[in-house]
Amino acid sequence: MAALAYNLGKREINHYFSVRSAKVLALVAVLLLAAGHLASRRYRGNDSCEYLLSSGRFLGEKVWQPHSCMMHKYKISEAKSCLIDKHIAFIGDSRIRQLFYSFVKIINPQFKEEGNKHENIPFEDKIASVKVDFLWHPEVNGSMKQCIKVWTEDSVAKPHVIVAGAATWSIKIHNGSSEALSQYKMNITSLAPLLEKLAKTSDVYWVLQDPVYEELLSENRKMITNEKINAYNEAAVSILNSSTRNSKSNIKMFSVSKLIAQETIMESLDGLHLPESSRETSAMILMNVYCNKIVKPVDGSCCQPQPPLTLIQKLAACFFTFSIFGYLIFYIIHRNAHRKNKPCTDLEGGEEKKNTVNISMSPLEILLQSFCKLGLIMAYFYMCDRANLFMKENKFYTHSSFFIPIIYILVLGVFYNENTKETKVLNREQTDEWKGWMQLVILIYHISGASTFLPVYMHIRVLVAAYLFQTGYGHFSYFWIKGDFGIHRVCQVLFRLNFLVVVLCIVMDQPYQFYYFVPLVTVWFMIIYVTLALWPQIIQKKANGNCLWHFGLLLKLAFLLFCICFLAYSQGAFEKIFSLWPLSKCFELKGNVYEWWFRWRLDRYVFFHGMLFAFIYLALQKRQILSEGKGEPLFSNKVSNFLLFISVVSFLTYSIWASSCKNKAECNELHPSVSVVQILAFILIRNIPGYARSVYSSFFAWFGRISLELFICQYHIWLAADTRGILVLIPGNPMLNIIVSTFIFVCVAHEISQITNDLAQIIIPKDNASLLKRLACITAFFCGLLILSSVQDKSRH
């Protein structure tokens, strides 16, 4: 009854809500969201620096998230690189002094807070030629005005950045009197023109006063109340913002520290000064405001302008635009032809006369339609991760953000189960299911930022290895059984793997190696192909006639293993091979191939394990040692129970080891050799019981069929800033944002999968003569792309 109810419910859902209608809904959602964000940008302004300086929230105890953009955590080398030959001046009271110390410690963590607190404090890094000064002026008075006035003179060198602020001393010395506030307004009014003049050539920030924790204030500070501080802040904002009559003031209000203080001031030791973690956050915000436009960190989207279009991106935009217009013309012509030949009703007989004209789409129209859709999708990619239209946020890991979604999808996966068409080991439905749940777990891992938690990281490494294991298993099985080493098969696989990545490299201006998984799978596919295709070609049909051929194949695999070991432990030889042009254009990242060597080496044995497993399994299957009937255990009951016990113990043993890892580098070193333990354990647990082989999760299998597209698309339209952050389509509601962005992301991935399949049928024909012509065109295209890329690189340098 439960199964019947499930099937009836599924049919009812599919009747009203199909994949096509989901995609239409996703398109409408994208258009509405884009319009909403565009209107918001025009109304509120498009300057993310203002958001960084004025708004944000805490994701955790010490992780600050600015509104709408991502904040980069600067390293010492990055800070020095940005501030080389720069002079930064902090002017104000003890709170500004605290900010000065935190700022300097980004450049030099060993700098100590010592000396007379009520005097000027200099700092200079002579190697980096960075100068940072604190000037003690605790009140906005004539002394501060004179200090700033000196910098306005043409003959005097001006600081590149000026950070000023004061008020609490005025409240304290004058016992919070209204006369002191009036004097403060007069003094800051006379100071405003000087700051405005400096702001034309330097970055000037006025730090608004943070709230105090009145219960902790000492007796001589009790007059410093939050009410008084708000009054002084209002005065400063109104005067400094109106310092220019006809245009917006160039003086920037540093008001974000107030929000930080509201959350952390209760941790203060004296009720007045902020705890160190809060000061560090404010200093890092200052560093982001000034340095992001210079250093341009990937995970620091605040204060970064939209990158200019490259020549290749402009050409791609023209190509997709022509494709869209070309398809629209074809569509109009096709529709008019359809109307002319529309069936008409026979008034006498009451029957429709059937149209005899074939209205099926031509290959050219399918090609234009596919590129039209792809152009619109790539426009969405660009809007999400290159244009400053949608917002981005930093990741923040908590155990609940990772494990709760995992439990949720596992429940869904178990609920949507069906019988398999066949009950062989690693049948098609089962491998799709395996790819599906692994891909969903990897997606959750990426968006939750779980890489910071080492046990989760190690288990995810096994999932990536398992995907590669499946690839080795699948390709070896195909070549071994079919013996099809034709060029059509190779081109189909290479096109299927690389089409989306090549398009993204062009549109998003990224190197091929950035999408590391696709180069990894591509290279290993070619290694498997070359290993098996080279003389002597040994396939199952030939080996069945003579057992010596099995020995020959094992020799081939042994030689392959030797080559893998040699390259794994000869970094120099590996880098020399892949640094050769044009391979270097594919495998270099940030000017070298180290990242490629690291990725390849991390899972160097798992493809070989997949090939070896396929060989052993197919040999056992051929000799009818396995029982793969429906409901039958894979081996005899005793052997099955023993292997199941060993598998469960091995699976748990690996998990215990991975969970006890203390050092990522050491665990990565062992991973290539031991990851196969958990992979084989899972295969045996999943396939030894007959009932387990007879069912699969259709929910996971659906995602498994588009797993490659999901893995690649997440880089730009689910995550953001090239996977460093999270895309925010709906600000202020993280849960709703994840639901909507995930829905659009999955629809886009599914559509790209269909586009790739449609284009593969046209671009990679079965006829060898036509295929060779297409390959010549593709080769010419890549040669042109390499030339344009070289021209771009020279213009950048």
Structure-token pair, residue 381: 């990619």
Tokens 């609490």 -> residue: 168
Start-to-end CA span in the chain (Å): 69
* CA–centroid distance for 510 within its chain: 13
Q: Is the Cβ–Cβ distance between 678 and 650 less than 8 Å?
A: yes
Which DSSP state fits 764?
A: S
Could you give the residue numbers annotated as active site? 94, 270, 273
In this structure, are strands 130-136 and 121-125 parallel, antiparallel, or unpaired?
Answer: antiparallel
User: Going by C-beta distance under 8 Å and a sequence separation of 6 or more, which residues neighbour residue 332?
Assistant: none
727 near 396, Cβ under 8 Å?
Answer: no
Q: Which pair of tokens denotes residue 338?
A: 């359809």
Is 175 exposed, middle or buried, given 0-12, 13-18 or 19+ CB atoms closer than 10 A?
exposed
Read off the amino acid at residue 701.
A
Cβ neighbours around 30 below 10 Å, total = 22
Residue 335: C-alpha distances to residues 122, 123, 220, 359 (Å)? 76, 74, 84, 9
- Which of 453, 436, 586 is CA-nearest to residue 513? 586
Q: What is the dihedral of CA 448, 451, 456, 458, to 10 degrees?
A: 150
Q: To 10 degrees, what angle do helices 606-622 and 517-533 make?
A: 50
Q: Which two tokens stand for residue 127?
A: 């190697």
Given CA atoms 334, 335, 339, 340 in this order, what sign does their dihedral have?
negative
Instruction: Return the number of other C-beta atoms located less than 10 Å from residue 421's C-beta.
Output: 10
Sequence-separated (6 or more) residues with CB below 8 Å from residue 709: 500, 749, 750, 752, 753, 756
Determine if the peptide bond prior to 582 is cis (ω within 30°). Answer: yes
Q: CB count, 10 Å around CB of 383?
A: 19
> CA dist 210 to 63, 241, 447, 584, 716, Å?
19, 19, 34, 53, 38
Q: To which H or E segment does residue 732 belong?
A: none
Distance in angstroms (rounded) separating the CA atoms of residues 413 and 698? 7
Which residues, in sequence order, are bridge partners of residue 135? 91
CA distances from 295 to 41, 292, 556 (A): 25, 5, 49
User: Taking a C-beta distance cutoff of 8 angstroms, is the pair 166, 138 a contact?
Assistant: yes
527-579-784-790 Cα dihedral, nearest 10 degrees: 160
Length of the chain, please?
797
Contact 304, 296 (CB under 8 A): yes
Tell me the one-letter amino acid at 299: D
- Give the span between the Cα atoms of 777 and 62, in whole angstroms: 55
How far is C-alpha 33 from the chain's CA centre? 20
